Amino acid sequence: MTDLQKTDFDYIVIGGGSAGAAVAARLSEDPTVEVALVEAGADDRGVDEVLQLDRWMELLESGYDWDYPIEPQENGNSFMRHSRAKVMGGCSSHNSCIAFWAPREDIDEWETRFGAEGWNSEMAFRLYKQLESNEDAGPDAPHHGADGPVKLMNVPPSDPCGVALLDACEQAGIPRTKFNTGQTVINGANFFQINRRPDGTRSSSSVSYIHPILERKNFTLLTGLRARELKFNDANHCTGVDVVDGQFARTHTLNARTEVILSAGAIDSPKLLMLSGIGPKEHLAEHGIEVRADSPGVGSNLQDHPEGVIQWEAKQPMTETSTQWWEIGIFTPTEDGLDRPDLMFHYGSVPFDMHTLRQGFPTTENGFCLTPNVTHARSRGTVRLRSRDFRDKPMVDPRYFTDPHDMRVMVYGIKKAREIISQPAMAEWAGRELYPGPDVQTDEEITEYITKTHNTVYHPAGSVRMGAYDDGMSPLDPQLRVKGVTGLRVADASVMPELTTVNPNITTMMIGERCAELVREARAASGADTAAAGAGV
């Protein structure tokens, strides 16, 4: 932990993850303001298992993982856990660094359907260009040659099983395509783009935004400090945060002269808001927490990408090297007339038996898998407090497959995976189907298998959504300001009104970029107002 020699700042960012690191770095570009970035986890510098992208699977359920269990599921796998990163960079230091621009339709919907004024694809695509460097996208891409901090690259086609899989996709009517060109891919497949540097270092938000600015005199990084409660004055203005030193269990108060930005993620941001008296009043009352702002949408609208798995033994030895072991994406619609795909697959060149082995399915040391996931699941869950003790893990209830749409897409996905792998191009690779196996064929049998064994792509979102100013179920306005108080914004995946079709990490960084712009605009407006008042205007 950085020594607490200073406790007063202009801006305090709580959470050094995908969005928080971007917010703090951009705000500290102004040398006239003092910015603190507060992270509960460890510094990532010098930690090879975090920095080296091909080691990401070691981080699941490790000391760098908050490892949140989920509540018992009526239609889903109650053994499932939500991995949330406990380290600088947040989930961008913990994930497989699959890098996607969201489809235009996703971001435009935030504005047109949910009332988040100003959040549209024109704004988002401008900020995608700003945050990344992506010469591999090709000369026709709208962001070719940009010089942002996050480095993107194409996964090289060096996995022969993966190349055969793409051939099989073409034989099944799913063509090879390019990702991140600015065009929405409804039906297509290819090796991913990933945010990784040439030496194998992940281009996480910490590596990209924070490592280069650690010597800035107006920037302070505080790790190992866990937020306990947001602080407010009598006018309900957020004045800072109480944090607990993880090493000595001492409480300190950090003071914000201007604003606090909460970037703790889709599980911990609603938790901290509720601990601070902002949330559904009935739920807060259950835990004896005084209501500061009755906000029923805090902790509601929780969304995710639920994921199934179908695994084969490989007839040939699988690759022993990889950028991150999950290198190909496949998109395809399950019905006609969609403007975005409702089904996505990740291809893994490694076994994935996290939830199948306990159910008695066979496994292998040499195999490959496809993991169908529902891009726009309609089931909605909640994040709730387990108690008023900040140390207790929250109650995370995704309510998987409570909307029948989601299981319909997943069942289709298992069948589509079999269709792809049955193509001639995979004949030299595809051995025995291990799970669900040839005995699981009917919709009912596949449904039972999915219910018992499904996982998640670890994409919780939407639990503190932004929306129209008069939308009582949107805790945030389109400026990311928390309704009912002042001096407090939220910037992370929790603000998404609807989860993106694709892996959302780059979009979460984009949210951080936009939040920094909104804060700077507010500061500039405040300065103009002060100057006008001083001039007697």
441 contact partners, CB below 8 Å, separation of at least 6? none
In 66-218, beta strands by DSSP E: 68-69, 81-82, 132-133, 150-151, 153-154, 188-191, 193-194
- The helix-helix angle for 104-112 and 121-131 (nearest 10°) equals 130
Catalytic residue, candidates 143, 355, 454, 459: 459
| Spatial distance between the Cα atoms of 34 and 259, rounded to a whole number of angstroms | 11
Residue 351: DSSP 8-state? -
Q: Which strand (E) or helix (H) includes residue 521? A: helix 505-534
Find out whether the peptide bond into 460 is cis, omega within 30 degrees of 0. no
Structure tokens at 204: 């996480």
Vertex 98, ends 55 and 134: CA angle to 5°? 115
Q: If 0-12 CB within 10 Å is exposed, 13-18 middle and 19+ buried, where does residue 49 land? A: middle
DSSP for 116-169, please give it: -TT-SHHHHHHHHHHHEE-GGG-TTSTTTT---SEE-EEPPS--HHHHHHHHHH
Give the number of C-alpha atoms closer than 13 A to the C-alpha of residue 27, restricted to the C-beta side: 33
3-state SS class at 360: coil
Other residues' Cβ atoms within 10 Å of the Cβ of residue 176: 12
In this structure, are residues 351 and 363 in contact, taking their beta carbons and an 8 Å threshold?
A: yes
| Spatial distance between the Cα atoms of 466 and 164, rounded to a whole number of angstroms | 43
| Spatial distance between the Cα atoms of 307 and 321, rounded to a whole number of angstroms | 24
Q: How far is it between the farthest Cα atoms of the chain?
A: 81
In this structure, are residues 242 and 251 in contact, taking their beta carbons and an 8 Å threshold?
A: yes
* Active-site residue flag, 287: no
3-state SS class at 522: helix
| Spatial distance between the Cα atoms of 537 and 530, rounded to a whole number of angstroms | 10
3-state SS class at 267: helix
In this structure, are residues 502 and 103 in contact, taking their beta carbons and an 8 Å threshold?
A: yes
In this structure, are residues 473 and 297 in contact, taking their beta carbons and an 8 Å threshold?
A: yes
Terminal alpha carbon distance of the chain: 47
| Spatial distance between the Cα atoms of 428 and 384, rounded to a whole number of angstroms | 49
Q: Where are the alpha helices (DSSP H) in 262-403?
A: 265-275, 281-286
Which residues are part of the catalytic machinery?
A: 459
